Structure 1
Amino acid sequence: MTNQTTWQVLLVEDHPIFRDGLAAAIGLDDGFTVAAQAATAQEALTAARTTELDLVVMDLGLPGCSGIEATRDLKREHPQIKVLVMTMSEDDDSLLAAMRAGARGYLLKGAGRDEILRALHTVAQGGAVFSPHMAERLGPLFASFTGAAAQQAFPTLTAREREVLGLLATGLSYRQIAESLYLSDKTVRNHVGAIFAKLQVRNRAEAIVRARDAGLGT
């Protein structure tokens, strides 16, 4: 984040009416300024090179180069910029591809203004956020995607603990992990406590560093 009183936002969306409506909604929050808009991946990359940005709201269905590729290129050139995907795509492949590319959030276009602004604040502050419908599928998806790697990196953890650690590494809160795995908050915190003890780390930040060093959450 830059040393400013507001976060600078780039909107990447090829439908001008939707983009204008989104810009108007974001503009109602004093915490954000829509610094640039783009209709293609190339326009987004150009804007990122010429404008000081903190956040990007990225559509996936862009003409030519996809939003996934655009996110990957943006994160490669400007790793400090945080990306929130906003799309119509509800399929698992798009969700996983966005996370792999470096997105910190995944919202469906049916989200209301308050949900969008909450998501932007969460992502701007370093967290991760997902539409409830997508969050429900994160646990099983993440388990199938990273299970073998996590088992090799953390053999002392149980399968559920590895699953929790992986979701923790993506930036999810304890409540979001609980919702995605259909667990209570207390159960998630118990798992996290066991993870800390087994990995010999003192806190969440140290656990996330260990997880990301092993390739989880990226």
Structure 2
Amino acid sequence: MAADGQEGAGMSVRVVIVDDHRLFRSGVRAELGAVVEVVGEAHDVDSAVAAIGELKPDVVLLDVHMPGGGGIEVLRRALSTGSRFLALSVSDAAEDVIGVIRAGARGYVTKNISGSELTDAIVRVAEGDAVFSPRLAGFVLDAFASTEAPPIDPELDSLTQREREVLRLIARGYAYKEIAKELFISVKTVETHVSSVLRKLQLSNRHELSRWATARRLV
């Protein structure tokens, strides 16, 4: 509804779509209202950072899980450009929502959103509002507003999104080769991430990593 009013005002919001599935990017482009101008697309972290830096969009539609470190890594490297970020993900996990918002996104909506609702969300984020799918707003309130919210975990926050993904799979019992296949990275890259996580958490081996992740319900 709000999107219709803004379209009438002749405003145009410049958007870059970041998602590792080409067909999904095409579908989003087709569903967005005339008020939104898609000026670019990207399929991984590096191409996203390059596109955002070059095109300076008003809003970046950002997938949470993708090759190269995920949405949090894009935010870490591109938040200073001045663009606003709206996470658009199939995941409705509290950890993903809170992690992306902590990293600087202005909102988080799930991929079952309609085209008109997504258009409205983009416009609102461009104007400075924070926008969330209804049930996700509770996660954010719990994490940031409630006095009973769990404290920020500095050890967990020290890990990149990809390091968390590797850690979660290790805790589930995946071998390095299986992790590499799951995340579309090399075994050597998996080993590098594991070494980095061990160093940051001051742990000695993958068994300690598994216990650490399980204790924080990351599995």
- Deviating runs (4+, > 6 A) in structure 1? none
Number of residue pairs the alignment of both structures matches: 140
The structural deviation recorded for 1:5 is: 4.5
1:49 to 53, 74, 78: 53
Mapped partners of 2:75, 2:114: distance in 1: 23
Query: What is the rounded CA distance, in whole Å, between the counterparts of 1:101 and 1:5 in structure 2?
Result: 28
Q: Deviations over 1:28-86 (max 9, x none)?
A: x232110000000100111112213111000011112211111221103x1x2000000
Which amino acid is 1:92 matched to? A
TM-score normalised according to structure 2 size: 0.60
1:111/1:145 CA distance change after superposition, 3 Å: same
RCO higher in 1 or 2 (8 Å CA, sep ≥ 6)? 2
Is the CA contact 1:58–1:71 (under 8 Å) kept in the aligned structure 2?
no
Q: CA deviation at 1:118?
A: 1.2
2-structure distance, mates of 1:108, 1:138: 15
> 1:186-211 CA deviation, whole Å, 9 max, x = no partner?
xxxxxxxxxxxxxxxxxxxxxxxxxx
Identify the residue that residue 140 of structure 1 maps to in structure 2. Answer: 142
Structure 1 gap segments, 5+ residues each: 148-218
* C-alpha displacement of 1:94: 0.9
How far did residue 145 of structure 1 move? 5.0
The amino acid across from 2:98 in the alignment is L
Amino acid paired to 1:127: D
Q: Tell me the distance in 2 between the aligned counterparts of 1:9 and 1:44.
A: 12
**Equivalence for 2:119:** 117
- Structure 2 counterpart SS, 1:137: helix
Counterpart Cα distance in 2 of 1:8 and 1:85? 16
1:69 aligns with 2:73: yes
* Equivalent residue runs for 1:1-218 within 5 Å: 5-26=11-32, 29-76=33-80, 78=81, 80-142=82-144, 143=146, 144=149
Q: Write the distance in 1 (CA, Å) between the matches of 2:143 and 2:56.
A: 34
Pairwise CA RMSD = 1.8
TM-score, normalization: structure 1?
0.60
Identity of aligned residues (%): 31
